[in-house]
A = this chain, B = another copy of it.
């Protein structure tokens, strides 16, 4: 099956079903995208898939969408691509497997931007909040975003006015990488006042949408989009939220997906902090008042962010001395057998065998043909086009 055929099939499928399309997602998982697309086209599908695709299955715009996207500087990233953010999106797969409604993983993602998706999303936190943010909220969002960038954490947000925009601006001010997830097509230019900001995000980060070119924004699409913001990150930070806020929806979804949910407190006199206080009071969110709190919270949930969110020096900070010795005995290229690692590190073979899988879970070691080696995907700033065979340079080394 050619890569082009697969990409074309997914472009078609992304167009014919309104996300989240859980029956179609399962159908594709079962039959593969090309076969699934063929059967959707010919209406040779189970009822549940037909229900999701019947209205649009004639819209065979894959070639046009891919050409249009390319002309607009967008690419379609598919699960078959190396850069597909499989690990963060696993949470949606798990939730869907458990029958949670509305949590189907995306069939593919339209992306504009220089960032390599899986890299940039390896250590990410969502910064979300009210459109009608206060000065306090906007400056807090920008400050957190700036400091998260310093801590080598990628910021993910929407593209709305208020907190979303302030978060992206904070990252850009720090010279960092930021990701915006839209509830409309990448070419729609919504909201109009943020077109310039999104173009700046594209230069270093990524603007993402599962909606094909030309898809108009709609309230339900922002709610559906929120699941991607929650899923693509290790945790969601609500900076300001009114009593009924879309940000609270993202927070609830993040909780549902087992991600960290955090909220920034504010004056009790501020209507824009009511939602944050309610989340904390209801034990749905952890109160955070600094980026150090954020890293601590996300780290405590076992995502390993606190450890992995930095360069090689920092990502081993949480290791005990024995694990550190084993880690340092791992080659960065090629591989080494547990025996050789034991010799190199001076740690007993029995302990080496116990420590290696733990290092693997922490994202510090990986198995290879020759044994074990250091896992090198440490930076959040690998650009597309970087030579994958070069040692990757984290932002901390820049």
Chain A residues with CB under 8 Å of chain B are 136, 140, 264-269, 273-274, 277, 280-281, 286-290, 293
Contact = CB atoms under 8 A, between A and B. Distances in A.
A269 B137 CA distance: 11
Contact of A268 (B140, B274, B280, B286): B140
Nearest to A290: B268
A280 B289 CA distance: 11
Given A265-B265, A267-B266, A268-B265, A280 B287 contact: yes
A264 B273 CA distance: 12
A288 B274 CA distance: 11
Given A136-B267, A265-B268, A267-B266, A277 B281 contact: no
A288 B293 contact: no
Nearest to A262: B281
As for how many copies of this chain the complex holds, the number is 2
21 contacts: A136-B267, A136-B269, A140-B268, A264-B268, A265-B266, A265-B273, A265-B277, A265-B280, A265-B287, A266-B267, A268-B289, A268-B290, A273-B289, A274-B289, A277-B287, A280-B280, A281-B286, A281-B287, A281-B288, A281-B289, A287-B287
A373 B374 CA distance: 76
A277 B287 CA distance: 7
Nearest to A265: B265
Given A267-B267, A281-B286, 5 more contacts: A136-B267, A265-B280, A281-B288, A281-B289, A287-B287
A359 B136 CA distance: 48
Contact of A293 (B264, B281, B287): B281
A290 B269 CA distance: 10
A140 B266 CA distance: 13
Nearest to A296: B281
A286 B267 CA distance: 16
A126 to B, nearest CB: 18
Contacts of A264: 268
Contacts of A265: 265-268, 273, 277, 280, 287
Nearest to A270: B267
A290 B271 CA distance: 12
A138 B187 CA distance: 51
Nearest to A277: B289
A208 to B, nearest CB: 29
A280 B283 CA distance: 10
A290 B286 CA distance: 19
Q: Which 3 residue pairs of A and B lie closest in terms of their CB atoms, listed nearest first? A: A265-B265, A268-B289, A277-B289
A229 to B, nearest CB: 22
